[in-house]
Amino acid sequence: MSSLRPRITDEQRRARLGRRHLLSPAHRVTAVEDVADALVGLHATDAATVYLSACARLVEPSTAEVERGLYDDVTLVKLLSMRRTIFAVSSGLAPYVDASTARAIAARERAAFLKFLQQGTEGSWDEQRLVRTEREVLAALAARGEATTAELAKDVPALRETILVSAGKPYAARQSVGSRLLRLLASDGHVRRSRPRGSWTSSMYAWAPVDQLPELPVRESKAEVARRWLASFGPATEADLKWWTGWTLGDTRRALADVGARDVQLAHGPGFVLPDDLEDVAPAEPWAALLPGLDPTAMGWRDRDWYLSPDHVPALFDRAGNIGPTVWWNGRIVGGWAQRPDGEIAWRLLADAGPDATSAIETEAARLSSWLGDVRVTPRFRTPLERELVG
């Protein structure tokens, strides 16, 4: 039956990637919201990744433009969503991501946190006390307008309590109720991370209240997320979408059916595209890119052989499967990069890409160095090649 499916080559997949992921210079944009929508969402587990991913795709790299979306206009919304990862998505897409993915994760987070409280406090915390404390925190935050966890703990003493975890183990430690409870309120959509205290790479931030997102039907929301993802990442496999979203296989198949996804034949097996995406697209002009660790393009698919040689995985990934900074040439990962303590952008090719690639990569490295200026960025998840280049 595979011969009846339209065939889409790896070259065509890479041609789509250069255009749709805004990596070719001719396809860069001016607004951070357009970057987020082009990628469905920006990985935001590492504070710096949002800025690095966005600026790689902006006509004029600008941390101020990213901060406008995150903190001034709040047109980018951070949600604990796909694969229990924090994504920054546009405010227009946020209700669909919330209904399709974030709500279920928030429910699991609440159950796990309540169990954590009950086990660690010998019953002094129960669901009623948790809800009561959450209301006190939200009232205190509303009065302050914006506050750190430590500041809120001055108003709500329960936040200062600590719980011993891994008792009797060498790695036993005490965890703050406040830090966990604020993260729970964020996953529930009641609070958001506000502007960091310090530079844009800082993980020290205040919390601010937010309006609840509108409630949308779950099935329709899953279909919309699948449609957006296929428009950006298709053609792709069923396994790719299941992995990227964290949905069950049944939900994944239902969403593909709901958007009318078409079967196609890829180099390594069957895949799917949207009904209007069967025609070939012209390759983008030759392009190079230096993308950060956890960039949405690098982490967009479960099956990566069409853009990443398996031989390069040990150098570019940590042991938990997180990808580090990568160097791209025309839709393939060809190396990695790092920023040294003196600010130099060091990079290394893992495959011969030719003189045109070297010239284009040097141009991108200079562009990155220019807008970073005096800022130093260390990835949250260190990889072997990144460490080696820094050292």
Q: In this predicted model, what pLDDT tens digit does every residue of 66-97 receive, in sequence order? A: 999 999 999 999 999 999 999 999 999 999 99
Confirm if 241 and 101 have CB atoms less than 8 A apart. Answer: no
Nearest residue to 256 via CA among 240, 278, 280, 279: 240
Is 55's pLDDT higher than 70? yes
CA 209-215-219 angle, to 5 degrees, is 135
Instruction: Give the C-alpha separation, 344 to 332, whole Å.
Output: 24
In a domain, 202, yes or no: no
Is 321's pLDDT higher than 80? yes
The pLDDT score that the predictor gives to residue 122 is: 66
pLDDT digits (tens, 9 = 90+) for 327-338: 999 999 999 999
Cis upstream peptide for 196 (omega within 30°): no
Nearest residue to 163 via CA among 202, 114, 216, 212: 114
In a domain, 332, yes or no: no
Nearest residue to 148 via CA among 194, 113, 184, 185: 194
Domain range for 117: 103-191
Residue range 142-155: mean pLDDT, rounded: 95
Structural domain total, the chain: 1
In a domain, 140, yes or no: yes
In a domain, 359, yes or no: no
Is 169's pLDDT higher than 90? no
Q: Which of 164-168, 175-179, 193-197, 359-363 has the lowest mean pLDDT?
A: 164-168
pLDDT digits (tens, 9 = 90+) for 252-273: 999 999 999 999 999 999 999 9
Phi, psi of 280 (to 5 degrees): -65, 150
What single string gives the DSSP state of each residue in 343-363?
S-EEEEESS---HHHHHHHHH
In a domain, 186, yes or no: yes
In a domain, 121, yes or no: yes
The pLDDT score that the predictor gives to residue 123 is: 65
The pLDDT score that the predictor gives to residue 171 is: 75
The pLDDT score that the predictor gives to residue 1 is: 39
Q: Average pLDDT, whole number, for the chain?
A: 94
Q: What is the dihedral of CA 301, 305, 311, 317, to 10 degrees?
A: 0
The pLDDT score that the predictor gives to residue 2 is: 45
What would the two tokens of residue 340 be? Answer: 């040294």
Is 304's pLDDT higher than 90? yes
Place of tokens 């790689």: 56
In a domain, 147, yes or no: yes
pLDDT digits (tens, 9 = 90+) for 27-50: 999 999 999 999 999 999 998 999
In a domain, 120, yes or no: yes
CA 277-282-285 angle, to 5 degrees, is 135
Reported pTM: 0.93
pLDDT digits (tens, 9 = 90+) for 198-243: 889 888 889 999 988 999 999 999 999 999 999 999 999 999 999 9
The pLDDT score that the predictor gives to residue 3 is: 53
Residue range 182-200: mean pLDDT, rounded: 92
The pLDDT score that the predictor gives to residue 334 is: 98
